[in-house]
Amino acid sequence: MKACVFCAGLRAEIPLAKVYEDNQLLGFLDHRPVFPGHVLLIPKRHMVTLDELQPGEVALLFEHLRVLSRAVPRAMNGQGCFVANNNVVSQSVPHLHWHAVPRTKGDGLKGFFWPRQPYRDEEHREEVRFRVEQTLAQELILDFWFGPPQPDGLALEFFRKRWFVQDPAFDQEIRVRFGSLVDEAVAGGLTDWESSSRGRLALILLLDQFTRNLFRHNGRAFSGDERAQQLALEGLPRSNDLTLDQRVFWFLPFEHGESAQWQQISLHHYAGLIELAPPEQRIHYENFYEYARKHADIIERFGRYPHRNQALDRPSTPQESEFLSGPGSSFW
């Protein structure tokens, strides 16, 4: 029996075109693309048809395929995405795989996968591979935090309930899926992400939120704050492209700042969300404003957040120690 090209490629050529990989899935550029940015998504476990997927594999595959269908056209400035799968008939490689092809109106696609448009050269392919890889990473972060886009702009309750709870399992999931990206962001990397509103928001989440999940009660929890604040401040006009829930997290670095100036910026923008929200959603954003005001009150009183003192090896004043012994003093 002829060896599976994709299984062999896992150890050879496919990694050169890779745009995504985890323990179970691999995404890579098709070597004969319909259009540049054409990605194949495959399970690493060898199987031929959809019927061979186990229940847990179905959810994982289609969650990633859903995000991929958003990331591919965004990376290639497309208007949509053609997603397709063959089972047995016309299945060129006997290994389950899905195609995600960027589309634009009038792009000339005449058949199922024809005509093909090859990459100009290796440099062109690598440029496209990098763009898709980085955009997909951004979209996976945003999807993990906010979930799929909703008509009213509000994140689903499932996602909102996870944002501010202390859950070791949730923190571990962030560590496994995004820990290396957090390290890269804190080290000053991922600068290409700054050029778009969604990329910058994903970077802010890595620096300002995921650090707090990964390094609770540790000074490293604040290691991304300064960069996050500058990214949020310098990119404020870009935040207008986002939903109100997404802007909540664009503004959080201001709330986390230990100065009266940062707190003024925070309160101004959270108050603005209330004004922008439709009447039925205003209570949602009034709650965020109330938390911002509580943070601002602490900074006005102490000039810093006393609950960070131990993590940052800062001695507490007697007044701070008394404050920390009461309720509502910590924002871990």
| pLDDT tops 60 at residue 56 | yes
% pLDDT > 90, the chain: 87
Rounded Cα gap, residues 133 and 180, in angstroms: 15
Tell me, what's the pLDDT at 2?
60
Whether 217 and 311 have beta carbons less than 8 Å apart is answered as yes
Tell me, what's the pLDDT at 221?
97
| pLDDT tops 70 at residue 20 | yes
- Each residue of 157-177: pLDDT tens digit? 999 999 999 999 999 999 999
CA dihedral 219, 222, 224, 226 (to 10 degrees): -120
The CATH number for 5-109, chosen from 3.10.200.10, 3.30.428.10, 3.30.460.10, 3.40.50.150, is 3.30.428.10
SS3 214: helix
Task: Output the CATH code of domain 147-324.
Answer: 1.25.40.10
- Strands, sheet with 98-103, edge to edge from the N-terminal-most edge strand: 18-21, 25-29, 39-43, 98-103, 80-85
Whether 109 and 34 have beta carbons less than 8 Å apart is answered as yes
Average pLDDT of the chain?
94
Q: What is the pTM of this model?
A: 0.92
Contacts of residue 129, defined as CB under 8 A and 6 or more positions apart, other chains included, come to 17, 18, 19, 29
Q: State mean pLDDT over 63-73.
A: 97
DSSP 2: P
| pLDDT tops 70 at residue 1 | no
Rounded Cα gap, residues 279 and 275, in angstroms: 9
% pLDDT > 70, the chain: 98
Q: State mean pLDDT over 140-162.
A: 95
Q: State mean pLDDT over 261-276.
A: 98
Whether 42 and 6 have beta carbons less than 8 Å apart is answered as yes
At 232, the amino acid letter reads A
| pLDDT tops 80 at residue 332 | no
Contacts of residue 39, defined as CB under 8 A and 6 or more positions apart, other chains included, come to 19, 27, 28, 29, 30, 68, 72, 99, 100, 101, 132
Q: Identify the band that residue 13 occupies on the pLDDT scale cut at 50, 70 and 90.
A: confident
Q: Identify the band that residue 38 occupies on the pLDDT scale cut at 50, 70 and 90.
A: very high
What does R_g of the chain's alpha carbons equal in angstroms?
Answer: 23
Whether 99 and 39 have beta carbons less than 8 Å apart is answered as yes
Tell me, what's the pLDDT at 79?
97
Tell me, what's the pLDDT at 113?
79
Contacts of residue 146, defined as CB under 8 A and 6 or more positions apart, other chains included, come to 155, 159, 243, 245, 246
| From-to residues of CATH 3.30.428.10 in the chain | 5-109
| From-to residues of CATH 1.25.40.10 in the chain | 147-324
Q: State mean pLDDT over 101-116.
A: 89
Q: State mean pLDDT over 82-107.
A: 91
Q: State mean pLDDT over 6-15.
A: 76
- Each residue of 89-100: pLDDT tens digit? 888 889 999 999
Rounded Cα gap, residues 243 and 153, in angstroms: 6
Tell me, what's the pLDDT at 48?
93
- Each residue of 208-248: pLDDT tens digit? 999 999 999 999 999 999 999 999 999 999 999 999 999 99
SS3 41: strand
